[in-house]
Amino acid sequence: NAGVTQTPKFRILKIGQSMTLQCTQDMNHNYMYWYRQDPGMGLKLIYYSVGAGITDKGEVPNGYNVSRSTTEDFPLRLELAAPSQTSVYFCASSYLTGGNTIYFGEGSWLTVV
Amino acid sequence: EDQVTQSPEALRLQEGESSSLNCSYTVSGLRGLFWYRQDPGKGPEFLFTLYSAGEEKEKERLKATLTKKESFLHITAPKPEDSATYLCAALGSGNTGKLIFGQGTTLQVKP
């Protein structure tokens, strides 16, 4: 059982470039999330989705976009990358809205230079 | 504004030296307080859920407790393999499942 799979693991972007972080889960979870984690700052919610076709902003959505066309996939799009988007990105999914059912991917390390 | 604060930021212990990690929260309509373990280069892994003041949960050398303002993660006789970053998160009112995370405590246990 793969759980939550994120790609790529590492990426270096130049300022102004765009890219998509891929996330897929095989647990048939309705809820999916994108977090970013900066050193000493904890995890901040970027976007979340409560089901296919439904997405909403989290705490720090500026500079990002998401889509949820299927239950399994929740890609995160970075438009016009900026150095402030250098971070570790975690995708997560859950069956219910409780934190005890949330499963995280292994993270994507993004550097914008 | 809902907020979760963890202390200390970093903690170094000798093997067998017990201690506690603190998680203070200000969250309206708390629906759950969660503890996670995060190893370097990995995503957070769920440890405990606490729902109401006075509740306690245990797992091996870890015990989590909850009051109306704080949660503690007590580590008894830690071993080097307990070294990790420990995150707490709070789930407030609403139905979106949005967790508010603290900044984490990085624990290092030396043999």
Q: Between chains, do A98 and B4 touch, taking CB under 8 Å as contact?
A: no
Instruction: For residue A33, give the chain B residue with the closest CA.
Output: B98
CA separation (Å) from B53 to B87, B95, B101, B104? Answer: 19, 22, 19, 21
Residue A93: enclosing H or E segment and its boundaries? strand A87-94
Give the span between the Cα atoms of A72 and A94, in whole angstroms: 12
- How close A13 comes to chain B (CA, Å)? 20
- Residue type for A2, please? A
The owner of tokens 């017990």 is B18
* pLDDT level of residue A96 (50, 70, 90 thresholds): confident
Give the pLDDT confidence of B17-60 residue by residue, as tens digits: 999 999 999 988 888 899 999 999 889 998 999 999 999 999 99
Checking if the pLDDT of A1 tops 70, the result is no
Nearest to A108 by CA among A78, A82, A79: A78
Mean pLDDT value across residues A84-105:
85
The owner of tokens 């790609």 is A7
pLDDT of residue A102: 85
Cβ pair A66, A49 in contact under 8 A: yes
Q: Between chains, do A31 and B98 touch, taking CB under 8 Å as contact?
A: no
B87 chain-A contacts, CB cut-off 8 A: 42-43
* pLDDT level of residue B96 (50, 70, 90 thresholds): low
Give the pLDDT confidence of B80-94 residue by residue, as tens digits: 999 999 999 998 876
Measured in degrees and rounded to the nearest 5, phi and psi for residue B81 equal -70, -5
Nearest to B71 by CA among B32, B22, B31: B22
Of A41, A45, A105, the CB nearest to B103: A41
Checking if the pLDDT of A39 tops 90, the result is no
The pair of three-digit structure tokens given for residue A65, joined into one six-digit string: 């976009």
pLDDT of residue B91: 87
Strand, coil or helix: B18: coil
Checking if the pLDDT of B95 tops 60, the result is no
The owner of tokens 């993004």 is A110
The pair of three-digit structure tokens given for residue A43, joined into one six-digit string: 């995890």
Of B6, B43, B95, the CB nearest to A107: B43
Mean pLDDT value across residues A8-17:
96
Nearest to B80 by CA among B63, B64, B102, B61: B61
A39 or A58: which carries more pLDDT confidence? A58
Of A31, A103, A106, the CB nearest to B97: A31
pLDDT of residue B71: 98
The pair of three-digit structure tokens given for residue B88, joined into one six-digit string: 């707490």
B91 chain-A contacts, CB cut-off 8 A: 97-99
pLDDT of residue B97: 64
Checking if the pLDDT of A70 tops 90, the result is yes
pLDDT of residue B41: 87
